[in-house]
Structure 1
Amino acid sequence: MKQYNEMQVNVCNICEATIWEKNVTDIETRLDRLESRAEILALISHYCKACDDRDVPLLRSLFRQDSWVRSADGRMKGEGLEGIMQMYRKRFEVLGLSVHWTHDTVVTFDPADPDRATGEVFCHAEAVRNQQVLVGSLRYEDEYRRRDGKWYFASRLLKFLYYVPVQSYAEALASPLRQRGYETPLPGDYPESLPSWTGWVQHYQPEDQQA
Structure 2
Amino acid sequence: MDQNELLARIDRLESTEAIRQLAGKYSLSLDMRDLDAHVGLFAPDIRVGKGKTGRAELKAWVDDTLRHQFTGTSHHIGQHIIEFIDADHAIGVVYSKNEHETGAEWVIMQMLYWDDYERIDGQWYFRRRLPCYWYATDLNKPPIGDMKMRWPGREPYHGTFHDLFPSWKEFWNHMPERDVLPEVAEPQPLDGFLKGMRRDTPAPRIRVR
Settle same-fold status: TM greater than 0.5: yes
Aligned partners of 2:58, 2:8: CA distance in 1, in Å?
A: 33
- TM-score, with structure 1 as normaliser: 0.75
Residue 71 of structure 2 corresponds to residue 96 of structure 1? yes
The AA in structure 1 aligned to 2:17 is A
Say if 1:192 and 1:158 are closer, same or farther in 2 by CA, change over 3 A.
closer
Number of residue pairs matched by the alignment: 178
Q: 1:78, CA displacement in angstroms?
A: 7.1
| 5+ long unaligned stretches in structure 2 | 185-209
Deviations 1:159-205 (A, max 9, x none): 1011112122x2x1x21211111512101213266321222375954
Say if 1:65 and 1:131 are closer, same or farther in 2 by CA, change over 3 A.
farther
Aligned position for 1:7: none
Residue 1 of structure 2 corresponds to residue 26 of structure 1? no
The AA in structure 2 aligned to 1:61 is G
Contact 2:112 2:161 in 1 (8 A): no
The AA in structure 2 aligned to 1:194 is F
Q: How does 1:111-190 map to 2 (within 5 A)?
A: 113-168=86-141, 170=142, 172=143, 174-181=144-151, 183-190=154-161
Aligned position for 1:199: 170
| 5+ long unaligned stretches in structure 1 | 1-19, 71-76
Say if 1:89 and 1:78 are closer, same or farther in 2 by CA, change over 3 A.
farther
Shifted more, 31-40 versus 88-97: the winner is 88-97
- TM-score, with structure 2 as normaliser: 0.76
Aligned partners of 2:129, 2:53: CA distance in 1, in Å?
A: 11
Contact 2:40 2:55 in 1 (8 A): no
The AA in structure 2 aligned to 1:115 is D
Residue 19 of structure 2 corresponds to residue 40 of structure 1? yes
Deviations 1:105-154 (A, max 9, x none): 110001xx311111111110001123421000111111111111110111
SS in structure 1 of the partner of residue 87 of structure 2: coil
SS in structure 2 of the partner of residue 47 of structure 1: helix
Say if 1:47 and 1:117 are closer, same or farther in 2 by CA, change over 3 A.
same
Over the matched positions of the two proteins, sequence identity in percent amounts to 24
Query: Larger radius of gyration, structure 1 or 2?
Result: 1
SS in structure 1 of the partner of residue 146 of structure 2: coil
